[in-house]
Chain A
Amino acid sequence: MTQTPEPSPDGPAARADGGDALLQMTGIVKRFPGVLALGGVDLDVRAGEVHCLLGQNGAGKSTLIKVLSASYQPDEGEIRWEGEPVRLTTPVAAMKRGISTIYQELDLVPGLTVTENVFLGHELATAGFSRRAEATQRVRAILARLGHSEVDPNRLVGDLSPAGQQIVSMARALSHDTRLLILDEPSAVLDQEEVDNLFRVVRGLTAEGVAIIYISHRLEEIRQIGDRITVLKDGRTVATGLSVAETPTSELITLMTGREIEYVFPERPATRPSQDAAPVLEASGLSGDRFHDVDLRVHAGEIVGLAGLVGSGRSEILETIYGARRSTTGTVTINGRRLRGGSVRAAVAAGVGLAPEERKSQGLLLDQAVYRNVTISSLGRFSKASFLDSGAERRAAEELTRSLDVRPAGVDRPVRNLSGGNQQKVVLARWLLRDCKVLLLDEPTRGVDVGARSEIYNLVRRLADEGVAVVVVSSEVEEVLGLSDRVLVISEGAVVHEGPATEIDESKVLDLVMEGEVA
């Protein structure tokens, strides 16, 4: 069946008077068993604006947009679309109105090609036969519009990087006649350049009168792209329609968290670990599929940051040290003892821990309770002769999740029911709990709100002060520089710079990265 997107008859007229709300949600209530996720939320969005939705982890942002895209049905409340009350009963119904959503957890089918994913559910077909050539053509055009002509429409989505998958999601949204585009933490998997690219696309769309709902925990992004802001706290609207230009960041933070948070990095200890001492972790001449000849030395008590673009090979370096990937050449030693390559068991036995980047596939046991996710790597500590002391497990998990501010509190609910940022905290808690000598953190604050971020920074610094050697990978240059003692800049899989974090600034890092790209 063909589905040519039909412009609705009153479309252009409604778009023209930009002042009126395209969408009005009032008094939205959504309950989950035992949790009031939304307790009366109001939101109004105008055509052609970028409306930012802010709130701490678990505030209800994703739930609200799932109500809007009709993956959830609200328990109470009213949705008006161009002034008319509507009931959005199915995702398809929402899509037909022109509401497209890019979810926080990407929802693509890895075994299908880019084109097949883009047109999934609204395939171009005649009498059941898909019109492949045309579909591929259209996908090429959309990708070009997104500035990513290099993505091959015939590649399997599972083979793409997270950033590449994000682009496919965007392409899918744009393959509909979109009036309202919802982006739930799109920048979490993107690096600076990609984010700029995304913003370019967003500006193009708003100029055409498309409304955008934008969710992010990076407040500086809100400044760049946003027009108005709605702040959620504990499932309620605490402020709506704030103008981005007139609201200081500190006020936003206070609105979100209900307290004042100084958004600073923990102080570095006065005495630096001597660079002459024997390192705890030493990788020399390490090469793998996506990186080559990496030398990395980390001393006890030191935090080393790896800066670079997404896809520059940083995660692969960590995973190789951890034994989850095999190196082609080079060695890894822990306290002078050489690690057997390609064995996670050996790495774990030697005291290495890795908090992986892809939390859902690599980190979480979604159906298991929070405390079980936290303790799974330290079961030895909570068992006597293989018998588990689940009381002790719960207590330890409770303490850690409280200090990371995992909401809602309580360690017995399945991780699946937590919000994205809170899931991330749970994975992190697992590795903070384990007594590691070397801790490898891949994007530790992805999707984590401002309040919990500073908490994570403090925890990591405290671990370092206790003598742990820490390696941090982050796409946020500011974070790498602020948290680490020493920084390695990685570009195209090679180390292009190494030095103290205090002697380099953000623009220098970006320059180095770009140079490497060109070279």
Chain B
Amino acid sequence: MSDNPTNAAVAEEDTARVEKEAARRAEPGGLGQLLRSGAGHNLGLVLALALLAVIGIATGGERFASVDNVMTILRLSAVIGVVSIGMTFVITGGGIDLSVGALVALSSIWCTTVATQTMANDIHWIIIVTTALLVGAGAGLINGLLIAYGGVVPFIATLAMMASARGLAEIISARKTQIVSVPGFTDAFSREILGISVLIWIFAIVAVIGWVLLNRTTFGRRTLAIGGNPEASRLAGINVRRHTVLLYVLVGVCCGIAAVMLISRTTTGSATHGQLYELDAIAAVVIGGTLLSGGRGNIIGTVFGVLIFMTLTNVFVLNNLSISAQAFTKGLIIIAAVLLQKRFSRQPGS
């Protein structure tokens, strides 16, 4: 069997192919080195966004390049953006949260129920906000406890939460959309500050806090450590379980914030809010350069990831292209981004 004559030829061909591969890998390109770094990755994302903008201007002209349109893109980005910042932390810490969309729905419906059942138009908007944050945090706490102390893998625990939270939201709302008409609330969140919507401000603030938290605090450092090597982190004296719980509470709180923003944008609470947010957020985080296996996180990348997807949607809408075409292109972008990352972050050898 071993002296099959074609074997040698195949081996030869194989060798040649692998040789090329090896040569390609070994080349110490300056560009590759740059793109491997976090800053370089962000630069790549800026270029991608710029490219999209050029396409937008070319096809949509004034309609794309207007201040109004840019504000629209940002306003639409804000809600999913806040969720994605939370998701960045969980993924950096080596986990995943599939329940974010359901949590947004549950928080939103919980708030509007509180608002309508008290039958008081004079309910203070702070109560609505607090309710949303508490619901998000509570659900996140359950996720975290199940994962850190119950030993349930994140994928399963949050998958279960995704089903249950959405179901609970439907029960509470009896599948009806609830309209909010609390004057103080509407005033507070549909205002503009310096000509920029409050929603965009919230996104910006959450992003800045997220960046500082991840890059400048012990919390962030521990998140990176746990995502990179949980066993080593435990032996280094980090309370890995408690930290894991905190990460899921954090993303839960982000979902609460997103719910408030969504209520204000749509003036409704609904069990159908936040559909597929989990996928959009994960996609934004991953193309943003955060390692899906944990240990490396990039908040700025996530922000750009969100903006890229939203701009894409905008360009498609302006050109009257279908949602299906949008979804298809989104998929291509995710694959392209991940392949590029692999290409440049490959370790020689091992």
Contacts and interface: CB of A to CB of B under 8 A. Distances in A.
Contacts of B229: 361, 364-366
B195 interface: no
Contacts of A255: none
A380 B236 CA distance: 13
A372 interface: yes
A72 B238 contact: no
A365 B296 CA distance: 11
B243 to A, nearest CB: 11
Interface stretch (A111-119, A213-221, A383-391): A383-391
A334 interface: no
Contacts of B232: 361-365
Contacts of B218: 379-380, 383, 386, 388
A345 interface: yes
Given A345-B239, A379-B218, A2 B28 contact: no
Interface in A372-414: 372, 376-377, 379-380, 383, 386-388, 390
Interface residues of A, number: 47
B316 to A, nearest CB: 36
A255 B350 CA distance: 30
A344 to B, nearest CB: 6
A75 B26 contact: yes
A42 to B, nearest CB: 21
Contact of A367 (B1, B228, B231): B228
Given A4-B2, A32-B348, A66-B349, A362 B235 contact: yes
Interface in A339-363: 344-345, 347-348, 354, 356, 361-363
A71 B347 CA distance: 11
B104 to A, nearest CB: 28
Contact of B237 (A72, A89, A344): A344
A372 B228 CA distance: 12
B228 to A, nearest CB: 4
B22 A90 contact: yes
Contact of B235 (A66, A344, A367): A344
Interface string B14-58: 010011001101101000010000000000000000000000000
Contact of B15 (A93, A367, A380): A93
A507 interface: no
Interface stretch (B183-191, B219-227, B274-282): B219-227
A426 to B, nearest CB: 12
Contacts of B225: 365, 368, 372, 376
A364 to B, nearest CB: 6
A84 interface: no
B216 interface: yes
A376 B233 contact: yes
Nearest to B348: A72
A2 B224 CA distance: 45
B240 to A, nearest CB: 9
A363 B224 CA distance: 14
Contacts of B18: 89-90
B66 interface: no
B222 A379 contact: yes
Contacts of B238: 376
B255 to A, nearest CB: 23
A33 B2 contact: no
Contacts of A71: 349-350
Interface string A1-35: 11110100000000000000000000000011100
A203 interface: no
The prevalent SS among residues of B at the interface is helix
Contacts of A195: none
Interface in B287-345: 295-296
Contacts of B15: 89-90, 93
A235 B239 CA distance: 41
A430 B2 CA distance: 53
A377 B237 contact: yes
B234 interface: yes
Given A354-B235, A361-B231, A386-B219, A6 B347 contact: no
Interface in B199-221: 216-219, 221
B236 A430 contact: yes
Contact of A89 (B2, B22, B219): B22
B216 A388 contact: yes
Nearest to B241: A345
Contact of A365 (B23, B216, B224): B224
Nearest to A380: B218
A297 interface: no
A324 interface: yes
A381 to B, nearest CB: 10
A366 B227 CA distance: 11
Given A362-B231, A387-B216, A368 B224 contact: yes
A324 B221 contact: no
Given A366-B229, A376-B225, A377-B237, A416 B347 contact: yes
A87 to B, nearest CB: 8
Contacts of A32: 348
A73 interface: yes
Contacts of B349: 66, 71-72
B221 A388 contact: yes
A355 to B, nearest CB: 9
A178 B234 CA distance: 41
A60 B221 CA distance: 31
**Which of B33, B222, B350 counts the most A-chain CB atoms under 10 A from its CB?**
B350
A372 to B, nearest CB: 7
Given A379-B218, A380-B218, A363 B348 contact: no
Contacts of B22: 73, 89-90
Interface string B230-254: 0111111111000000000000000
25 contacts: A2-B1, A2-B2, A32-B348, A33-B28, A66-B349, A73-B22, A93-B15, A105-B350, A107-B350, A345-B239, A348-B237, A361-B231, A365-B228, A365-B229, A365-B295, A367-B295, A368-B225, A372-B221, A372-B224, A376-B222, A376-B225, A376-B238, A380-B218, A386-B217, A388-B216
Interface of A: 1-4, 6, 31-33, 66, 71-73, 75, 87, 89-90, 93, 105, 107, 322, 324, 344-345, 347-348, 354, 356, 361-368, 372, 376-377, 379-380, 383, 386-388, 390, 416, 430
What 5 pairs between A and B have smallest CB-CB spacing? A348-B237, A71-B349, A365-B228, A89-B19, A379-B218
